[in-house]
Structure 1
């Protein structure tokens, strides 16, 4: 028989009041009353909050006669009569003696397990501040498009390798790069769910998922045009009608820049006299500001775009005034019946530098591509961006790609412009 009674609970002064078998009533100075159970679990003492004391239960005698509750309802109830507190305490003591975690069992039924679609939204909200805006959008969009159709309505504690394989199957061979990103992001959402206590099972094993999917085609790198073909391709494009998309693609070739960097380029970043393009950190993949040295060919291309008094805002504006889309540059490649990517011109530049400019250290071409070079220690001691060497390299690349724009004589032009202008 417990030491407490309904009257004692109702009239108890601030402090701790024992009922027996580890059950206590805590009364705060404010008058708030809480039942707490003290148990031993894995050799350690734990105090477990059971709920507030219900001193005026509607439809029941205060701490007296009550309707029996099933185990689930008892764990969910947050306001307890004395009898219910004793019943809940007895159930948790029994679980603790059996080796189960009483806190986890108390919260098991109370916890609402979200669906995968809901977890995606929560994970995106939590992770987005630490991601670049572009990556955060890609994270959410890829999961909504490729994962939610199969996993969206499942609760996160019910998703294992079989369910993930089912979601990935439609894109695994057709879109291998995207499929791998989606697989990683699904696991990331499940890891987030586990951290939130929404699932207790281990994360799906990567090897298990890999063995359940067909072999993907080898590769995955951006398709690149052989550097020997670049001058003829460039001359062909130069001979066609001007458009922002075509000009942007040619500028990307001459600067070995990423498509996104070119599409966001602004006249305010370009100094034609100093022959530089200064790109702020927020437009760079590595989030480091970077200065591109502009060759004669790049300068000549820019001077063709707009008169001096109109060089404001975006260098390559879209039809609606905003930046061009990535597909607008790809469309130029497809109109030329080329299957390579615009990004692949960076690879062409890198191979050209290795084969045709052997006296220039590899570090220089990597810097020209805005790649980080060397170890963190080497980066700390390298206090130069090797701009003079990069200028020599980019000038040679501009001369190779377009002798015409570079101001070379007709005899030195390694491509025939007659065919492209026909």
Structure 2
């Protein structure tokens, strides 16, 4: 009876040896615990029976089962550690080892799962639906349209698990030099989709795209400036503009230039944002590009213009106030960007844009005043690029900006 037991044990071990066996540990097993998994340093950490925790330099953690099958050593991903706890990873590893014992080839199982993986386009659209809630309206269209134009024709039908650096390179090559800024955004957005796929468990490991640009030529950096009127020509322009009959577009353009705001901020201005007695325009955060409230000190010339507009509204509508727009085509509908641009074109000014008057203001500050740059930046509602400096700078330079805007209006109307 004992000899029969020894024979059975020997035969069983031979079967297991032929089907699978854990690879030899390159280092001592670290007896994984949840805490150790969370704080493990970069490297490959062995748990037991061929299960490893793979920690990359980026900090990402994933489970890998290393087995020898058919005389070859192979690694099989079991998912990211933040989605697959230690206990589940051990169960998955045990299930795969059982499959090997049953004669199922793990690579075949992997090929089946890869065939059933969603396409890159499907994942991209899911990623878009998940993220778009926190974006501005204009970004919704631009984000997905860049995929439809540049990405989906090349890799849209590929399984997301098959999208690697070579596939991404095929997307970037046609546009890398012709539209460099778009190409960089495309690369960043592909990375976002692949990260989304990894987080959702559709891709077993993070896909690094850092080496993709090494296969592309160097982009030459070119700065494209908005067409802007020189500050020397601005006073003559404002004099000619003021001499023309009042229209919504002309009045909106005058206010935009006098306050150095963005055209959208002037077009969508409402009467409840203004305190003409205190000469202050309070633009709420929701209407600002940087989503930070901006208080504009109004020069006497701007207040005079606004009082005239207010009187015109009173005569036309019988009342002014609430959320009524200063410049509207119909009630509740602001004038378009083209309305102010058309004023410039009708005056035969082809070398300037509405937004360019902010550059005109910046040049005037630099050339004709001793005002520090940070005061001018605050007048333009620019965000401070240095995060540390932004954290410590609490002032908005309001009093200094009032002096500056008064000087700017006096310069324009001199």
226-235 or 372-381, which moves further after superposition?
A: 372-381
Task: Indicate if the aligned counterparts of 1:263 and 1:323 stay in contact, CA closer than 8 A.
Answer: yes
Would the aligned equivalents of 2:358 and 2:380 in 1 still touch at CA under 8 Å? Answer: yes
Find out whether 1:257 has 2:261 as its counterpart: yes
Q: 1:377 to 1:113 in 2, by over 3 A?
A: same
CA pair 376-175 structure 1, distance change in 2 beyond 3 A: closer
Deviation readout 1:98-154 (Å, 9 max, x if unpaired):
9xxx7x985663364333332232112222234344434432344344444444334
Matches within 5 A, 1:14-413: 40-42=49-51, 90-92=98-100, 109-110=112-113, 112-160=116-164, 164=168, 167=171, 176-199=180-203, 200=205, 202-205=207-210, 208=213, 211-212=216-217, 215=219, 218-307=222-311, 309=314, 310-312=319-321, 313-319=324-330, 321-335=332-346, 336-358=348-370, 360-373=371-384, 378-379=389-390, 381-401=392-412, 403=413, 413=414
Alpha-carbon contact 1:222-1:344 (below 8 Å) kept: yes
| Contact 1:333–1:339, Cα closer than 8 Å, also in 2 | no
Give, in whole Å, the separation in 1 of the partners of 2:344 and 2:172: 30
Cα RMSD for the two superposed structures: 4.1
On the 8 A contact 2:51/2:64 being kept in 1, the answer is no
Is the 2:173–2:216 Cα contact (8 Å) retained in structure 1?
A: no
Please give the per-residue CA displacement for 1:352-375, whole angstroms capped at 9, x wherever unaligned. 1122111x3322111111124485
Mapped partners of 2:164, 2:352: distance in 1: 38
Does the CA-based 8 Å contact 1:277-1:293 persist in structure 2? yes
Deviations 1:191-218 (A, max 9, x none): 32343344457343466277258x5671
Q: Distance in 1 between matches of 2:329 and 2:215?
A: 42
Could you say what secondary structure the match of 1:292 adopts? strand
| Contact kept in structure 1, 2:297 and 2:398, CA below 8 Å | yes
The separation in 2 between residues aligned to 1:345 and 1:93, in whole angstroms, is 75
SS of residue in 1 equivalent to 2:329: coil
Are the structure 2 counterparts of residues 122 and 391 from structure 1 closer, same or farther at C-alpha, using a change threshold of 3 Å?
Answer: same
**8 Å contact 1:277–1:291 — kept in the other structure?**
yes
Specify whether residues 267 and 388 from structure 1 end up closer, same or farther in structure 2 by C-alpha distance, changes over 3 A only.
Answer: same
Of 378-387 and 115-124, deviating more is 378-387
Can you give the 5+ residue segments of structure 2 that lack an aligned partner in the other structure? 1-14, 17-47, 54-62, 66-93
Q: Deviations over 1:26-60 (max 9, x none)?
A: xxxxxxxxxxxxx823368x999xxxxxxxxxxxx
Unaligned runs of 5+ in 1: 1-19, 22-38, 49-85, 404-412, 414-422
The TM-score normalised by the length of structure 1 is 0.63
How many residue pairs match? The answer is 324
Q: Quick one: structure 1 residues 319 and 166, their matched pair in 2 at CA, closer, same or farther if it must change by over 3 Å?
A: farther
Q: Distance in 2 between matches of 1:394 and 1:251?
A: 12
Q: TM-score, normalised by structure 2?
A: 0.64
Query: Residues 177 and 220 of structure 1 are in contact (CA less than 8 Å); yes or no, is this contact kept in structure 2?
Result: no
